[in-house]
Structure formats: C-alpha cells, structure tokens
Structure 1
Amino acid sequence: MSKPIDQSDNAVPPNRRRVLECMAWAGTGVVWTVAGGVPSSRLIGSAQAKTAAFSFVQISDSHIGFEKPANPDSLKTLNEALDQAVALSTKPDFMIHTGDITQLALPQQFDDAAKAIGRAGLDVHYAPGEHDILDAATAKAYMERFGKGARDGAYYSFDFSGVHFISLNNVVDLKKNGLGFLGPDQLTWLADDLRDKTDSTPIVVFCHIPLWTIAPEWGWGTEDSQQALALLARFGSVTVLNGHIHQLMQKVEGAVTFHTARSTAFPQPAPKTAPAPGPMLAPPGQLRSLLGITKVAIAPGVSPLAITDSALAK
C-alpha cells in the first residue's frame, strides 16, 4: 500500500484565469438539494430551493495535523467550515466527509477531528482518504472512529428519502502515481448492492479519489473506475462526489455527474500548472477565499445538476 507523500508547499501563485478554469481551488462545501431524486447544488448563502425534500453538506480534506505554511492551523479552518454549515438557514439532514480527515492518521489527529466534526450535531457519513488509512493499525483506528455501518473494507451503502447512497474506498492498494483502486472484492459487493435497485433509483456515490481521470500522472483518478461506472450505467440519475484534488471540477457524462470538492485545509495547483501536486501557498490574505463547504439539496422538480460552492471568506 502506498503512503501519502508529505510534500513541501508548492509556491505557484494562482492567477484569475487559473481560478476560473478550476472554478476555485481548495475546499468548498456545496449545498446539495435533491428534488424528485435529482441532486442539484447552489452557493451557500444564495436562495434555497423552496421545495427541497432534504439536503446534506459535503466537506472534504480537512487534513487535521497539517501545520505547514500553506495553512498553519487546519483545525481552525475546519471549525470555520463547520460554523458555516451549522449557520445554514435550513439545517441539513446529514453530512458526508470525502476523506483525508487527518494528515497522518495519528490518534490525536483522529480525536481532534472527531471532536470538531461532532459539534456540528449532524449525522456524518465518511469515506476514507489515503492519509487516513496508512496500514493495518491506522485502518483499525479509522474504522473504530469513523467506520459506523461500514464493512471491513470501509465501504457501505444506505438509503435516505428514496435516494441510494454508496460510500466507496479507493485509497487502499494505490496504483501507479497514486491512482485509486477499488479492487475485485469491492466491485463484487457493489454489483450485489445495486442488484435490487430499479433503474429509476437516484444514486449518489461518494469516495475520496475521483472516479473520472483528471490527471493520471498525479494520481488523480481511479484505475478500475470504469468497472464501477459500468455497474451504474443503467441508472437514470447518478451523482459522484469526491475530494482529494482540493479544487472544484465538474464533468457530466450521460446520466452521471462528477463533482470534486475543495479542501477545508489548503489548496492544490491545477493540473499542468506545477511540477507536482501538493499544498500550495495562497496569496497573502486569500487562503479562506479558496476554502469552503458544499451543500446538496434534493427537491422535486429541480433541473439537472448545477454545481456551486461557497468559500470561508470572500
């Protein structure tokens, strides 16, 4: 199993064009709503869907324990993101965290993260990041704290208000350049999990590493994702949420919408704008404009997915 690389800060200054191309770096929380089984999103603070059936918040890549110049206090910015989630005018039904809860999977980092996230008072569903599971010992520690309802492989599913949610683990047995990997056991489980679902069942998949190939040379993709997507191909509405790349990107492929979230800790460079991925120094005073949360609302009659997000500070 590959271990995460603790890279030095990547001092590539962002410019306006790059920010627009990436739709903003770092960790954002999108407000998701589900209407008629179709997820849609909006900026936190903008008008909410009046007919929302339910909503949930996504946060990602909190990297508790990270203390480098890109963000000397990742716990503080996580708490700011949680404050924003708690302050939403309509309380979300639950929260998902798409991995890299901690920087090095140390017991104190797990404890600090659990305490901070717990104060939001929301039911939380987790998917592990490669910084959370480094070996058998940290996998056990992760499962004890964040693996509620998960199988031994840290993957699971649940249903909420007619929508089927699937949490996948693609951060164990990383492949070339750190590409994610699901593996045959998990794919077999996924096929069985989906077998009794009708084609009209709305599906939301969440995991850490993207299920679409963004930058294979940086490990921004999952080697066997096409096998998983083939199992999802018969469904009329599939939304895939992930973290890992610390910037907002979106892709629509048939009935599948892919969305990557920002981090609550630090930004990373856009593909091909730096020699390697890794923590990136933001211009002075601009870090919080590159961090945030995502809220998803599901409401009847909402048009196809429209991804938006909000920053911790303007």
Structure 2
Amino acid sequence: MSNFPIPIGFNGPLINPNADQTLLKAIESINRLKHQPDFIVFTGDLTHTTDDPQERRLRMQAFRKIISNLHVKNIKFLPGEHDASLDKGAAYQEFFGDLHYSFDHKGIHFIALDNVSDPKALLGPAQLDWLKADLAQQHTDAPIVVLTHRPLFDLYPQWDWNTRDGQSALDLLLPFTNVAIFYGHIHQEHIHTTEHIIHYGAKSLIFPLPAPGLAPKRAPIPWKVDQPYAGLGYRNIESYSKQKTYSIDEIAISAGELI
C-alpha cells in the first residue's frame, strides 16, 4: 500500500514533501484502531484544484481508489472548493453523490451542506429552503450535527473563511437546542460558538494554515524537518446522544507510520 501513487494534485515539497504518504498514513492509523468508527467523514478538498475537467475526474477516481483501503466502508463525503467550485460540483457528483443531503444514525440527525459549489461561497436560496424543510421534520431538542466545508460563521472573511449566507442557515438552526457543526477548510483546530451552537474546525492531511489574522496572508505553514507532519491529523468523535455531548480525540499523523 505504501507504493500506491497519489495523483490527487498537490505538489509542494517545501510545504509537505511527503504529501503522497499522508493520506495513506491516516488510513493505516484508522485501520489499526481497536474500535472501528461507525462511519468516516471527509469534509471536502478531496483533491487539488485543476482547470482540466478530465484531470479533475482522474484525481477523484484516484482518491476513491486510495480510500478503498479503509476497513470502514460507510464513508460520507462533502465537496471542498478545490473539488467543486470550478464546475458547480458536476465531476464531484459523478464520483461522490449529492452535494447536500441528510441522514440519521443512532438517534442523531446529520445534515451535510454544500457551501462551495457556488464560487461566491453561498448556500443559495434553494438549499436554504431544503434545509428549512429538513429541519421541520425534527423536534427542537433533537441532536443535530451539521457537516460543512467552509465555516458557516464569519471566522475571517479576508481569508475566505466564511459562508456569505451562512447566517441564514444558523438562523434556521438556532431554534434547535442541541446543534454541533463540524467543518474543514481552515486546516486547524478551532472552536467557536454561536449562542448555544458549537462549531468545530479540523486539521488537514496535507498542510496546516496559520491562525486567522496571525500572518500577513493565508499561506501554508512550511514543512518542519525536525517536526515532520506537525499540524496534520484527523479526529475521532464519539457521540453521547442521551447526554447530548461529543468527545473529540485529535489524532496526529506520525512520522513512524507506513514508511
């Protein structure tokens, strides 16, 4: 498995010279977990941006083949702007299905939102209407988990870390008393609250980004030879629906795995 090619598009030797290994390391780490997760979520940017529609599809096909090595086969996908913003999610849907959807699992209602296929970083009226109708089927005390790529709140709009109509989605969610939101895009851990709603940002498997506003521009943090894979990782989330709480375990990528 360690010799499997990773043609998903990223090439940055000063940022992550082992980018062809990081996803494989995460897969092997997950496969070794004593208790395998019920399902796995990829919160977007499955591949790197390309203007070539054929190359975009080849990268998505490669990603699908790579993750077939996971023991867990119940996998949920979200598009990132790298996957979907140039063609409104056309190629993404061919390989990974709907851009937004909902499902129920062990008493929790999950909602996956698409805030990337519109290049203006909008959910849009049609998706907001869908969200309103979906939420109308839930009790106000139902445990709800929302999955997005971009943050729904204005974390740092100067760096494109927001959803322009995200507040409209939050307004629909605020009447519900048990809501958690998990998102990617910012390549780091981050916790924010909108009244009683908690937002959790997550690390990347390719490169970390600086904290909002703590650098002149949004740019990847360079690779540290003495700390390989620093700032990279994934998380294991355990839900306790009766207590309406979540336990989050951040798992770092280890230099000693795989190679």
User: Does TM, scored on the shorter chain, surpass 0.5?
Assistant: yes
Unaligned runs of 5+ in 2: 1-5, 51-55
Using the size of structure 1 for normalisation, the TM-score is: 0.72
Aligned partner letter, 2:203: R
Q: Distance in 2 between matches of 1:209 and 1:96?
A: 15
Q: CA deviation at 1:255?
A: 2.6
Q: Does 1:182 align with 2:127?
A: no
Of 107, 110, 117 in structure 1, the residue corresponding to residue 67 of structure 2 is: 117
Q: Distance in 1 between matches of 2:155 and 2:113?
A: 18
The equivalences for 1:131-150 within 5 A come to 131-136=82-87, 139-147=89-97, 150=98
2:42 alignment partner in structure 1: 97
Matched residue of 2:162: which SS?
coil
Evaluate the alpha carbon distance shift between residue 286 and residue 242 of structure 1 in structure 2; reply closer, same or farther with a 3 A threshold: same
Matched residue of 1:309: which SS?
strand
Paired residues in the alignment total 243
The equivalences for 1:184-263 within 5 A come to 184-263=125-204
Q: CA deviation at 1:302?
A: 4.9
2:102 alignment partner in structure 1: 157
Q: CA deviation at 1:75?
A: 3.3
Contact 2:178 2:244 in 1 (8 A): no
Evaluate the alpha carbon distance shift between residue 93 and residue 304 of structure 1 in structure 2; reply closer, same or farther with a 3 A threshold: closer
The equivalences for 1:32-71 within 5 A come to 64-69=8-13, 70-71=15-16
Evaluate the alpha carbon distance shift between residue 63 and residue 228 of structure 1 in structure 2; reply closer, same or farther with a 3 A threshold: farther
1:41 alignment partner in structure 2: none
Q: CA deviation at 1:268?
A: 1.2
Contact 2:8 2:47 in 1 (8 A): yes
Q: Distance in 2 between matches of 1:172 and 1:113?
A: 19
Using the size of structure 2 for normalisation, the TM-score is: 0.87
Q: Distance in 1 between matches of 2:86 and 2:244?
A: 43
Evaluate the alpha carbon distance shift between residue 300 and residue 243 of structure 1 in structure 2; reply closer, same or farther with a 3 A threshold: closer
1:274 alignment partner in structure 2: 215
Q: Distance in 2 between matches of 1:182 and 1:99?
A: 15
Q: Distance in 1 between matches of 2:244 and 2:149?
A: 26
Q: Cα RMSD between the aligned structures? A: 2.1
Unaligned runs of 5+ in 1: 1-61
2:114 alignment partner in structure 1: 169
Contact 1:250 1:307 in 2 (8 A): no
Matched residue of 2:21: which SS?
helix
What is the identity percentage for the equivalent residue pairs of Structure 1 and Structure 2? 37
